Structure 1
């Protein structure tokens, strides 16, 4: 894999040889000022959703093979942009990890409404067996530095593994062992902000590994509830658990976690926690909970705000916060993308108890006809990555069969009982017994609204839009 370097091209000035030293000094000063101004332009994050229109840029989809098992359903379970914005890492159920590159024409400039949609193909595909619990990029990843191009995964019955983003090879692994010296998989994993440490959450512990020392060396901290999801910002660590609580820790030294407090408010197991870029607020979501809770880490006793979304299953539905901290976006099991713009809806403000709580989203975009479970905002460009899909249960397909002697003996009995005064519950019970005796053939069938795709959207300004 040859990954491109995402950067804003700058015109190089040929200084040449100056006869007058003062002229050279003045030119250097001017070039330095221009460089500083260019750096400010590079780090200035663009405005999002200004045109109130989303343009589909690229699309990639997955479908079940004909020879695959009936229970195999390849739907998206998460996607994350790389820190340098050159590619997107996505996890597909029963199909491992995929790396998809961003088209080079999207590195700079704007997008026209009539742009041709790209059909994406994975440049790297790691076929991992087992359920992948969590994944993350190296925070200092840069395509021009091959050593920094890697990601972490933690999956069922396996240690934390580091993968190379150039060829998809396994670099190393970090193994956590319990009190009886048995290796156990991590439920969640994340890098520290400087990338020197790996923080992995387990059922009863939080283990910190040194990135440069793979193996079984770690620092351990005991916890009371499983660490289903984690996030870190500066010296703070937030841990969401299956028991609906969120624990907040202060990290002074690696492995030394000082408990700050526990936050309560969700109705289901917490599936994601994420700090705002300034580190003052924390957003959390849970399974089968139609709410995003916003917390002020200085006053964590109660939620600061409640943002409605649709999550009607146990599936993890991701949300994301823009690097500028103004926009909060979330998917839902109804396939609708919801956006909260701080300039129009003060979603980071305190909650008014007497206020009637309705749908406070600034924008709503029906992007997918299936569950929109994955959301990731590009770190530099106004581009959004979304993933769709969910597990669809099997539906019984009744095939016509000739009547047997057992069915003939049942029908007169049912007819006789129906003529008597029996309750509705008894009739329904007899009907279920007849359906069970028929033993219909069970066949895996996708619903008509099933969709398993990874899509890139343009969410910036569209100059030629009329």
Structure 2
């Protein structure tokens, strides 16, 4: 299952410089450039809010996660960039309902629409084994992976999943535990499991923190193979590879930030700069993203401020390589997408370099096509009555920027 790097011809021929629309933005005065995107495709308004969107590795397909715990597959039109046919309507190829609450999912890193055997994803749902599913047909494959609590014999549904770059293994994060699976060993348990909490031996050897505690909500593997894990307790641990049970270093966001007001409510996503120098951490209830320099014992560098995401709802970020470095793109509760150029190049508070209004509801994902030609955004907010309970997923409608009118539950594709 070797990766296919050949994308659709229309997208390969049109790869704009991501920095070109906002080169005039001034970071010194805190003013960001307003960019003007053009919507080339839209799903229209859906019944259920979108919580996340991911591009497949070949750029042909988008998988979304909705509030009703379903996954949906959208295949981009071949003539997506044909001006005469825009805006295209986006319809899902299939809907993959979850029998119970969906906790996490991960697309196969060598996803190739032309090879159905690679068009798969992992899904973790409450009280069920981790399941490999065909993303085109929506049917489960004969491949399940057992993650079981030895004390209760109940299934553990991991809160985070990540494939290794070669696609041979995947890592699952749960409460105080990281589990590594061999993807080809179907219907078996993990080949490696290690606890992330501080053991007495670790405390004696290293002192202080030597792991991370809480639900592991975020996992990310650096270009050099470092595994980063982030928890609901706002703690981050780094491991020298997925097979290494010894924690290389760990730290608490609350103990490293420059200002207490920047501390959020727990890590929801981790991302690496393309060269592996910087680790970026997004939190719930935080108005920005934390930037750490991993070369220097995880030195706190800057806070990407002005994200407008002080909410319990998960709000994703996307790291995009450019000709002169990289950029971080993220949506906000106010329906705007913002960009920060070369995170880590500015110490202290780093304001957005560019922004654009794209939706009327919170933008939970703003992700670039692997070739950089188009951006996908998805929006939506779970609206609840004052008497409703939201304890299961931590999502909330409490935000001053939320549109109180018709819900903008939509998936859109843009050129910038």
TM-score, normalised on structure 1? 0.71
Aligned partners of 2:18 and 2:372 also within 8 Å: no
Provide Cα deviations, 1:120-145, integer angstroms capped at 9, x if missing partner.
11002111133322222111122232
Provide Cα deviations, 1:219-277, integer angstroms capped at 9, x if missing partner.
101112121111112320111100011111111x6354433222424331111101122
Provide Cα deviations, 1:25-63, integer angstroms capped at 9, x if missing partner.
xxxxxxxxxxxxxxxx96996412634321101111454
CA distance in 2, matches of 1:48, 1:9: 19
Which residue of 1 is the match for residue 149 of structure 2? Answer: 178
Aligned partners of 1:8 and 1:42 also within 8 Å: yes
Provide Cα deviations, 1:319-348, integer angstroms capped at 9, x if missing partner.
101144522101111111001234xxxx32
TM-align CA RMSD = 2.6
CA distance in 2, matches of 1:262, 1:169: 41
**Where does 1:36-435 land on structure 2 (aligned, <5 Å)?**
46-48=16-18, 50-51=20-21, 52-64=35-47, 74-94=48-68, 96-106=70-80, 112=83, 116-171=86-141, 172-180=143-151, 181-218=153-190, 219-224=192-197, 225=213, 226-233=215-222, 234-251=224-241, 254=243, 256-265=245-254, 266-308=263-305, 309-324=307-322, 326-342=326-342, 347-352=343-348, 357=349, 360-394=351-385
Aligned partners of 1:138 and 1:191 also within 8 Å: yes
Provide Cα deviations, 1:412-454, integer angstroms capped at 9, x if missing partner.
xxxxxxxxxxxxxxxxxxxxxxxxxxxxxxxxxx931521111
Unpaired stretches in structure 1, ≥5 consecutive residues: 11-40, 65-73, 397-445, 460-466
Aligned partners of 1:250 and 1:260 also within 8 Å: no
Q: Secondary structure at the match of 2:68?
A: coil
CA distance in 1, matches of 2:246, 2:72: 34
Aligned partners of 1:305 and 1:348 also within 8 Å: yes
Q: Secondary structure at the match of 1:105?
A: coil
The CA deviation at 1:155 is: 2.2
The CA deviation at 1:287 is: 0.6
The CA deviation at 1:377 is: 0.9
Aligned partners of 1:6 and 1:85 also within 8 Å: no
CA distance in 2, matches of 1:256, 1:164: 32
CA distance in 2, matches of 1:371, 1:300: 35
Which residue of 2 is the match for residue 71 of structure 1? Answer: none
Structure 1 residues 8 and 155: CA distance shift in structure 2, 3 A = closer
The CA deviation at 1:300 is: 4.3
CA distance in 2, matches of 1:299, 1:312: 29
CA distance in 2, matches of 1:194, 1:336: 35
CA distance in 2, matches of 1:193, 1:151: 14
User: Does 159-168 or 290-299 show the bigger shift?
Assistant: 159-168
CA distance in 2, matches of 1:228, 1:7: 31
The CA deviation at 1:375 is: 1.9
Which residue of 1 is the match for residue 405 of structure 2? Answer: 448
CA distance in 1, matches of 2:82, 2:326: 22
Aligned partners of 2:8 and 2:78 also within 8 Å: no
Structure 1 residues 351 and 449: CA distance shift in structure 2, 3 A = farther
CA distance in 2, matches of 1:260, 1:95: 35
Which residue of 1 is the match for residue 26 of structure 2? Answer: none
